[in-house]
Structure 1
Amino acid sequence: MFLRLGLIAFGGPAAHTALMREELVRRRRWVSDQRFADLMGATNLIPGPNSTELAIHLGHERAGWRGLLVAGVAFIVPAAVLVTLLAWVYVEQGETPAVEGVLYGVVPVVLAIIVWALAGLGRTVLSSWWLALLAGAALAAYLLGVNELVVLFGGAAVVAAVRGVRDLARRGPAALALPLLVAGTQQDGRLTELFLTMLKIGAVLYGSGYVLLAFLEGDFVDRLGWVSHQQVLDAVSVGQVTPGPVFTTATFLGYVVAGLPGAFLATVAIFLPSFVFVGLLTRLTDWLRSRAWTSALLDGVNATALALMAGVSLQLGRTGLVDPLTVALFGLTLLALWRTRLNSAWLIAAGALVGVARYLTG
């Protein structure tokens, strides 16, 4: 299943999350909406590609450590292979094949899947009027340009503070005692440097593709001088428009720097920290939910993560719903999600066919 998601998951982390909810919560009922929301919120607390980490965490939820490895690798590999092929074309021809036709039809379909997921998750996550108010404030802050990490951790702090005041009012000053969270050759040399640089980025990067762009610019253009600014922009563009994790941008740059060995090592390096972090996080998520104070933090993270997902959806809607045909695709997809249990892969395939047909006839 995660292999298929890796092949069809266009649209970035918000779309990936919506597709995973559609498959695992709505269609297969492997996890509840509350559990899905907790895992989604928890992965926002660690660095790395959040949607990939969510896939890894869901794999562990279903089949333990073997599931963790299988889900993560299956979600990453299709995108890594596709990006490697596009990188080969780029190196040989100097440009990447146009994908605008496919995206024209796919984006409205993916947007509808995100909206449907938001509606379902909202009923679970926004369990009180003040959590809904917090989500609205978080959405407004995000749209005004406040950094998503500030929004995310600010929301967690607000909910924890509200719960703390309530406990104090009920039980007295003792309620303010908070638990502590403890939380060889020149080519070989270049490959080693490439691996360590991508490993560092995967281990410390929070945020969107724009933050990834800044890290890649700083290391590969300014510090190492291996690629140009335009090549980094091309790599990020390929990562954005292909299905699967945006972090496969590393695969593209790895190929440009050192061919197939570079593509492989860059991919392994940038995703390896995610497997480690999620492996550690699986031991903490239940603990976080089982205690009142940390449960409040998780509620705040869930509400603000949902708001960030809505903010990304609004931005995606502005670029994807551009004419009556795309609006119709969006509406028909919502209708199909409401009235049927059709596999989301068929909906995305139908959107892609419409986009290709329009591209060929236009």
Structure 2
Amino acid sequence: MPSPDTVRPADVSLSAAFWYWLKLGFISFGGPAGQIALMHAELVEKRRWISEQRFLHALNYCMVLPGPEATQLAVYIGWLMHRTRGGLIAGTLFVLPSLVILIALTWIYMAFGNVPLVAGVLYGIKPAVVAIVLAAAARIGARTLKNAWLIAIAVAALLAIAVGHVPFPLIILVAALLGWIGGRVRPDLFVIGGGHGGVPKSYGAAIIDDATPTPLHARFSWARLIAVLAVGVGLGVSAWLAIAALFGIHQPYAQMGWFFSKAALLTFGGAYAVLPYVYQGGVETYHWLSGPQMIDGLALGETTPGPLIMIVAFVGFVGGWSKALFGADALPLAGAVGASVATFFTFLPSFIFILAGGPMVESTRDNIHLTAPLTAISAAVVGVIVSLALFFAQQVFLLTSPQPHLDYLALAITVAACIAVFHYKIGTIKLILACALAGLVVSYLPSIAVAIG
């Protein structure tokens, strides 16, 4: 009698897949690493919808794309199993719960953020954000900065954005150019091992197994590629033109559509990499929100399920609310529309990349001419993330009222958070809850009451 692991599981209906992706949207905490681990444990090990090798193959493709890799992996697997409908369902349900939760949390933040209880919680979370960003830089740096050349790119990126105030897109372009040159001159310096690699394991026969033929809908054809690109780009352009016609081309909603479309194409290395660009646009260029509000948004994003890039929903909500785009009596509605616009234009490119480029996966695997520029970009991203941590530290630790001084209690919370993250490997959610409790406690001390307003 054959072992249960050698028997191929029964095909999964679109309805069953729908409920799984919806569940995943509500439990996908832990950033991209945690989300990918959740999908691997459920889809590869437990349900055996897809084999280890096919899962890693899809993940490698998603890793070289701009955009949230966990979201794109969900779209890819949903598309591979149930065609375009499956990809759209998987990606939408991966993001939708996070959007709804963030709209609710941001409404509470904007309406009640000055209430002492809420202010105290935020006071403790902000120092935790500094530690979380530093941990992200260390994590990406450990995986990427394998030689002196890549370290030099990271340092140059840090100086460029922190001292020279060079725009983030220009840093990415220069890093890509250096990687392209390096991949031809010294390719050995731009090959990064580890990561998600290794020898694929087998957890038993899968619905989409190593030897399963490529489904008809996943086979490459130029006609299909052009059709998907035309529909995807046409959808984005049509949506932006409709928004511009309804609200005005120079008004915040149209600006958000254009800005977040560009941001979506720059998210190499994860959400932390593009946050400086979002900060430059949202705070300095368009004035949708303030620097301290940006930190609060990142804190809220860390506590909700879904991809961290969902902080764009917070930016869009605060922008719509602060500009009172529907009048003073409809601030929540203006915020919700802003959050939806930011989310739509941020994630649309990810769906296009997968649905159009999925059939070309095999042609992208292990191509040094493609991966070398991305390796250099990843090195630059480390420097950019460090600059982000420095900026957040300045906002959290340096107080200006009643006179410039250091907030030593906030600094102490950050030091404790760094010890918890780097030494004890405490998870993000536990860290934020602990720091929120600490902030709530110290917020009632007389010496802190003035500092937190």
CA distance in 2: counterparts of 1:211 and 1:110, whole angstroms:
20
CA 1:339–1:126: 2 relative to 1, 3 Å: closer
More helix by share: 1
2:379 corresponds to which letter in structure 1? Answer: A
Which amino acid in the other structure matches residue 209 of structure 1? Y
How do 1:161-172 residues align onto structure 2 when only pairs under 5 Å count?
Answer: 161-166=181-186
SS in 2 for 1:350: helix
Once the two structures are aligned, what percentage of the paired residues are identical?
Answer: 17
Q: Could you say which residue in structure 1 is the equivalent of 2:296?
A: 241
Give 2:129's aligned residue.
Answer: 110
Match for 2:172 among 136, 141, 152? 152
Letter in 2 for 1:263: G
Residue 289 of structure 1, CA deviation: 5.3
Cα deviation for residue 279 of structure 1 reads 1.4
**Structure 2 residue aligned with 1:136:** 155
Distance in 2 between the 1:315 and 1:60 partners?
A: 34
TM-score by length of 2: 0.55
Superposition map of 1:336-351 within 5 A: 336-338=420-422, 340=424, 342-351=426-435
1:272 pairs with one of 344, 357, 363: 344
Query: Unaligned regions of 5+ residues in structure 2, if any?
Result: 1-23, 42-51, 80-86, 188-225, 230-241, 267-276, 302-310, 398-405, 447-453
Counterpart contact for 1:209–1:246, Cα < 8 Å: no
Letter in 2 for 1:164: R
Paired letter, 1:165: V
Give 1:193's match in structure 2, choosing from 247, 261, 264: 247
* Cα distance per residue 1:217-254 (max 9 Å; x no partner): 6xxxxxxxxxxxxxx456x7645423121442322343
Could you tell me which amino acid in structure 2 is paired with residue 157 of structure 1? Answer: L
User: Number of residue pairs matched?
Assistant: 304
State the AA in 1 paired with 2:104.
V
Shift of residue 257 of structure 1? 1.9
Cα drift, residue 305 of structure 1: 1.3
The answer (yes or no) to whether the contact 1:320–1:326 under 8 Å persists in 2 is yes
Deviations 1:234-282 (A, max 9, x none): 6x76454231214423223435222254333332222212221011233
Secondary structure of 1:290's aligned partner: coil
Match of 1:210 among 261, 280, 286: 280
Matching residue's letter, 2:128: V
Q: 1:150, CA displacement in angstroms?
A: 1.5
Equivalent residue, structure 2, for 1:329:
413
Q: CA deviation digits over 1:312-353, x for unaligned, max 9?
A: 112223333544443443333333334545432121011011
**Helix, strand or coil for the counterpart of 2:336?**
helix
User: CA–CA distance in 2 between the matches of 1:74 and 1:123?
Assistant: 32
Task: State the match for 2:71 in structure 1.
Answer: 56
Paired letter, 2:132: I
Q: Please report how far the alpha carbon of residue 142 of structure 1 lies from its aligned counterpart in structure 2 after TM superposition.
A: 1.8
Which is further off, 332-341 or 273-282? 332-341
| 1:196 Cα deviation after fit | 4.8
Change (3 A) 1:26 1:293: same
Residues 191 and 265 in structure 1, CA contact (< 8 A), matched pair in contact too: no
Shift of 1:138: 1.5
Tell me the distance in 1 between the aligned counterparts of 2:374 and 2:365. Answer: 7
Aligned residue number for residue 9 of structure 1: none
Task: Choose 1 or 2 for highest CA Rg.
Answer: 2
RMSD of aligned Cα (Å):
4.1
Provide the C-alpha distance between the structure 2 equivalents of 1:278 and 1:161, rounded to a whole number of angstroms: 27
1:254 aligns with 2:254: no
Q: Does the 8 Å CA contact 2:312/2:339 hold for their aligned counterparts? A: no
Instruction: Write the deviation string for residues 168-191 of structure 1: whole angstroms up to 9, x where unpaired.
Output: xxxxxxxxxxxxxx99xxxx9999
How far residue 137 of structure 1 moved from its aligned partner, in angstroms, is 1.7
Aligned counterparts of 1:261 and 1:277: Cα–Cα separation in 2: 26
2:190 is aligned with 1:122: no
Shift, 1:120, TM fit: 2.6
Cα displacement (A) at 1:158: 0.7
CA-to-aligned-CA distance 1:70-93 (integer Å, 9 cap, x gap)? 232233332222223445x38xxx
Maintained 8 Å contact 1:21/1:36: no
Read off the aligned partner of 1:241 and give its amino acid letter: D
